[in-house]
Structure 1
């Protein structure tokens, strides 16, 4: 097989070889353009996720760890904390995101209440700037 391929290659004219080289170069250029456009699309998607604040939320349950820790420390029974939902706003001109988190926790009588906590986090490092317990 290798000998047959070598024989066919030796029978090509210079024009055929030049055309094949041009075709290979065009295919490589097309491949490079597609790779660049794919990379640009991925970068745009990542930038959009950062603008929306999703990089500050857990991929597992959608919570913000800093806000969860702050709320858990303020509860009577920290082990009863159950995260329900966290909503986040797009970045503000000040470079901050506003969070609203709903959760469940036991009250003083042993029943379970639904609580709401709000917070402000920095976009740059997702650090909790301030928070407050709205209802519990």
Structure 2
């Protein structure tokens, strides 16, 4: 019996030692794997930084010639070459390079924009839109005399139509401003009611009856408000107030009967 127990104890001890040893080896392997991963990350980060440092050094040593050559290419009508030259250094966020890259992209899109605008002209837009297109085309293609000729040819009609549009916009803006003076609930004008109540003996007795307005389209608006309120004898009577109100809502004058 004692021998069996001894064998069991030895077996358990051996298994425990193997388990501990196995865990120890597993921990060592895990640690090595983590160290390897960290080393690889550091190496990758260093390689990327070295690459960026080399790019910065190259850019700084060639910046003046790079910019002047890119500007010349864009001016000579070869924005694609300028874009290709500048794109390498776009990640450095140099403001001049960023500007020239945008300019080169815009220049590359000019032919597409010109085609789009001329297609729109072919569909005969209204005169105001046509003039806007001619002006944009003249800006995009200043060497083409057609656009300046079309601008000159249509200028008188454009000016007339534009003045009509401006006048219509003013009328619409005034109508909108005058409309805002009146309550959507009962048609009263707040600033007029305030003025009336300020002159009443008992402001709380004020009750709006009706509001009418006269607007000539220029200057101030005449507002006539009918209301009920208590007089000096505490009798409720119907009265009329005539007010002059500016389109932006200021009370210019108030007359109460």
TM range (shorter): 0.5 to 0.7
Pair 1:101-2:229 in alignment: no
* Conserved 8 A contact 1:88-1:100: yes
Counting only pairs closer than 5 Å after superposition, residues 85-100 of structure 1 correspond to structure 2 as: 85-93=210-218, 95-100=219-224
Q: CA deviation at 1:48?
A: 7.9
Q: Distance in 2 between matches of 1:87 and 1:48?
A: 20
**Structure with greater strand share of residues:** 1
The CA RMSD measured in Å over matched residues stands at 2.5
Q: CA deviation at 1:56?
A: 1.0
Q: CA deviation at 1:126?
A: 1.7
Counting only pairs closer than 5 Å after superposition, residues 2-41 of structure 1 correspond to structure 2 as: none
* Conserved 8 A contact 2:174-2:217: no
Q: CA deviation at 1:50?
A: 1.1
Deviation digits for residues 64-123 of structure 1 (CA, Å, limit 9, x no counterpart) = 111100100100111100011111112443x21101000000122222110110111111
TM-score (ref. length: structure 1) = 0.58
Moved over 2 A (4+): 51-55
Q: Where does residue 53 of structure 1 map in the other structure?
A: 178
* Conserved 8 A contact 2:221-2:246: yes
Equivalences, count: 89
Deviation digits for residues 23-42 of structure 1 (CA, Å, limit 9, x no counterpart) = xxxxxxxxxxxxxxxxxxxx
Structure 1: 5+ residue stretches without partners: 1-42
- Structure with bigger RCO (C-alpha 8 Å, 6+ apart): 1
